[in-house]
A and B are shown apart, each in its own frame.
Chain A
Amino acid sequence: MTSPQGFDRLRKRGDAADSASARSTPTGIAPHRLDPQGRGALFSVTEQPPAPGAVTVTCSDCEQTTAVSPRRLATLALPSVHLPMIRRDHPSWMRCPACGKRTWVKIVITL
């Protein structure tokens, strides 16, 4: 039988610049930032700031930030709980679009 430790060596999604590599650099690397001289060199298009009306969901579990349409947000938020006074960092409990888990997330709507 495969030992559980074997799978434990695999990182979680979104840990591209995981804590180990972040610690090894003087400045640290924000999670899932593309190094322009590494993997980011493949992209000729740079990440654009979100357009007005854009919605992003940041998951407290997988730490991914995902842009979603308002319609998709409505789907993900069924059902949902919102506790902005108690949970300031990730105030909404709903399904994360990145990892698919029901967990606490932060929703940002760009105005």
Chain B
Amino acid sequence: MAPVSRTIAVANQKGGVAKTTTVASLGSALAERGRKVLLVDLDPQSCLTFSLGLDPDAVELSVHDVLLGRVGASMAIQPTADGVDLLPATIELAGTEAQLLSRPGREYVLRSALEEVSAAYDVVLLDCSPSLGVLTLNALTAADELIIPLQCEMLSHRGVGQLLDTVADVQRILNPRLRVLGVLPTMFDGRTNHARAVLADVSERYGLAVLEPAIPKSVRFAEAPAAGRSVLTTARRARGADAYRELAGTLIA
């Protein structure tokens, strides 16, 4: 029997809040637990693709080709050393938004493309770009659930409100089944009053669940992409790696 697939978007239009790190690490943690995982890089900067050991400049078929209907998703998906499959991105994805913008039904392109392959996976994780454009809208339309990585500082806090307005629009117009799993505190330094205050206010103001454990700030995350592997491989016993393992356990419990 085919597994029941969950599609989880990891989105926050604020840049630098650890979306890509979360997708790579959480995906690897889920794969460690025996889950079949597909990661989708929806950022033209291709950071996820690079982080998992592929050279975005050398990728022949990417999510760009899939979204424009040139090839099926299965043709562009590649295995990675971390045990997860990846639908890679290249810089060409920057033009995909412009191409899609004039198409009716543009919000459903990713959902349709993933239908071909999602049954083969337990979890599909969507790494969104730091914007609220058509690509992010596609991710929110294709997803069952949403994780919002939150760097616990003021500007990131403000971004959550803007994202939730878009989520409400998507739920109302495109995808009523989309559910916000919660905010995931990233780069968290619980020693600062500001981080704790931001987290408390986000949770209270928006009625959002706070996913646990908080992901601690660590240079190990910054080092991992150089090796083309996730932090679960490059620093197996790092606190950050363990935090993502625990989060993976919570998600599939």
- Residue ranges of A at the interface with B (Cβ–Cβ < 8 Å): 1-2, 6-7, 10-14, 16, 32, 34, 39, 41-48, 64, 66-67, 98-101
**In the complex the two chains form, what is the Cα distance from A41 to B133 in whole Å?**
10
Which residues of B have CB within 8 Å of A98? 168
Closest chain A residue to B137, Cβ basis: A42
Additional A-B contact list (6), CB under 8 Å, known A10-B157, A13-B205: A13-B161, A14-B168, A42-B133, A43-B173, A45-B105, A47-B173
Q: Looking across the interface, which residue of chain B has its beta carbon closest to that of A100?
A: B207
**Within the assembled complex, what's the spacing in Å between the Cα atoms of A45 and B101?**
12
1/0 per position for B86-129, CB-CB distance to A under 8 A? 00000000000000010111110000000000000000000000
In the complex, chain B residues whose CB is within 8 Å of the CB of A6: 154
User: For chain B residues 146-162, which have a beta carbon within 8 Å of chain A?
Assistant: 154, 157-158, 161
Chain A residues with CB under 8 Å of B137's CB are 42-43
Contact A43 B207 (CB under 8 A): no
Task: Decide: A13 near B206, CB < 8 A? Known: A39-B132, A39-B166, A45-B107.
Answer: yes
Nearest 10 interchain pairs by C-beta: A100-B207, A2-B197, A44-B104, A16-B165, A7-B201, A1-B193, A2-B194, A44-B106, A99-B207, A42-B137
B198–A2 CB distance below 8 A: yes
B176 CB–A CB distance under 8 Å: yes
Question: What is the distance, in angstroms, from B202's C-beta to the closest C-beta of chain A?
Answer: 9
Would you give the shortest CB distance from B69 to chain A, in whole angstroms?
16
- Does B206 contact A44, Cβ atoms closer than 8 Å? no
| Given A2-B194, A10-B158: A45 in contact with B164 (beta carbons within 8 A) | no
Which residue on chain A has the smallest CB distance to residue B174?
A45
Min CB–CB distance B26 → chain A (angstroms): 25
> In the complex the two chains form, is A44's CB within 8 Å of B103's CB?
yes
B158 CB to nearest A CB, Å? 6
- Chain B nearest Cβ from A101, distance in angstroms: 7
Assess A13 versus B165: contact at CB under 8 Å? Given A42-B134, A43-B137, A43-B173: yes
Report the bound CA distance from A13 to B165 in whole Å: 7
For residues 190 through 236 of chain B, which have their beta carbon under 8 Å from a beta carbon of chain A?
193-194, 197-198, 201, 205-207
Chain B residues in 8 Å Cβ range of A10: 157-158, 161, 201, 205
Report chain A residues within 8 Å CB of B198. 2
Chain A residues, CB < 8 A from B176: 67
Q: How far is the CB of B98 from chain A (nearest CB, A)?
A: 12
Which of A32, A43, A100 is close to B174, meaning CB atoms less than 8 Å apart?
A: A43
Q: Does B33 touch A at the CB level, under 8 Å?
A: no
Q: Which residue of chain B lies nearest to A98 when distances are taken between CB atoms in the complex? A: B168
Q: Return chain A residues, CB-CB under 8 Å to B197.
A: 1-2, 7
Q: Which chain B residue lies CB-closest to A47?
A: B173
Report the minimal beta-carbon distance from A1 to chain B, rounded to whole angstroms.
5
**Cα-based distance from A92 to B105 in the complex (angstroms):** 37
Q: Is B57 an interface residue (CB 8 A)?
A: no
Residues of B within 8 A of A44 (CB): 103-107
Chain B residues, Cβ within 8 Å of A41:
101
Question: What separation, in Å, do the CA atoms of A66 and B137 have in the docked complex?
Answer: 19
Q: Give the CA-CA distance A13 to B203 in the complex, in Å.
A: 12
A sample of 25 inter-chain contacts (CB < 8 A) reads A2-B194, A7-B197, A13-B164, A13-B205, A14-B165, A14-B168, A16-B165, A32-B165, A34-B169, A39-B132, A39-B166, A41-B101, A42-B137, A43-B169, A44-B103, A44-B105, A44-B107, A45-B173, A48-B173, A66-B168, A67-B172, A67-B176, A98-B168, A100-B207, A101-B207
